[in-house]
Amino acid sequence: MSSPTTEESTAKRTGLVERLVRDDVDRKRFLKMAGSAGAASFGAFVLAACGSSSKKTTSSAVSSATTASSTGTGDVAILNYALTLEYLEDQFYEKVIASSLFSGKVAALLKTFGAQEATHVAALKGAVTKLGGKPVEKPTGTFPIKSATQVAELAYTVENLGAAAYLGQAPNIQSPEVLATALAIHSVEARHAATLGTLVKKSLTPMGAFATPDDMSTVLAAVKPFLA
């Protein structure tokens, strides 16, 4: 039996999204799944890559990140991969907030992002469990918190990487519910990045008219220096 063409695969994925938009039954199933973590969790359900940095990387830390892609199969593995990144993202914002490098509206914005990342972790763990999987263990990240400018630029890079990370997994997702969630997640992640872009005076659309996806190996290589 011949494999489907690229055009056929693209059409199939597009059809899944259209089905969720037009089919009330499928839409209710999707909202029910997202609602398992609470309506607020769904609204902030962002898959982001980690923001961290260190010159020292132990083999156990790298193994922890890599394990995300092998804990479970299919959509569970993708969700666990995202969960590993979210764990680190959550830790990053915790450190940034604790550093007191920012004040006023910028500090409030980062606190909002941090609170959302904590919600992402809870939502992803719930999604993995709902699909019958086991959430990956939490890795430990190390982060260079040196100056407000350096941290803001790192956050901008991190959020763009997060958008690229989940976009890279979209073609591999099997569940219509998970795919629809991924699209919503990618959108919010990109908005985070754009907001930070205004802060560091960098492009709001660094890839131009079309976002560029990153595959799992590329993202894990990028976060490798950030694991303790």
**What pLDDT is attached to residue 181?**
74
pLDDT by residue for the chain (228 residues), tens digit each?
444 454 444 444 444 444 444 444 444 443 444 333 332 232 222 233 333 333 333 344 445 444 544 455 689 999 999 888 889 889 999 999 999 999 999 999 999 998 888 888 888 888 889 899 999 999 888 888 999 999 999 999 888 888 899 889 989 989 888 887 777 777 877 888 999 999 999 988 888 888 889 999 999 898 888 887
Q: At what angle do helices 216-223 and 148-169 cross, to 10 degrees?
A: 160
136 within a domain of the structure (yes/no): yes
Residue with tokens 């994925």: 13
Question: Which amino acid, 99?
Answer: S
Q: Tally helices (H) and strands (E) across the chain.
A: 9, 0
Question: Count of domains in the chain?
Answer: 1
* Contact criterion met (CB below 8 Å) for 176 and 16: yes
Would the pTM of this model clear 0.75, i.e. be above it?
no
Domain range enclosing 219: 6-226
135 within a domain of the structure (yes/no): yes
- C-alpha distances out from residue 88 to 15, 39, 52, 140, Å: 33, 23, 7, 7
71 within a domain of the structure (yes/no): yes
25 within a domain of the structure (yes/no): yes
- CATH number reported for the structural domain that contains residue 43 in this entry: 1.20.1260.10
* Contact criterion met (CB below 8 Å) for 140 and 227: yes
Residue 84: half-sphere exposure toward Cβ, Cα within 13 Å: 28
Question: Which amino acid, 58?
Answer: T
62 within a domain of the structure (yes/no): yes
77 within a domain of the structure (yes/no): yes
1 within a domain of the structure (yes/no): no
35 within a domain of the structure (yes/no): yes
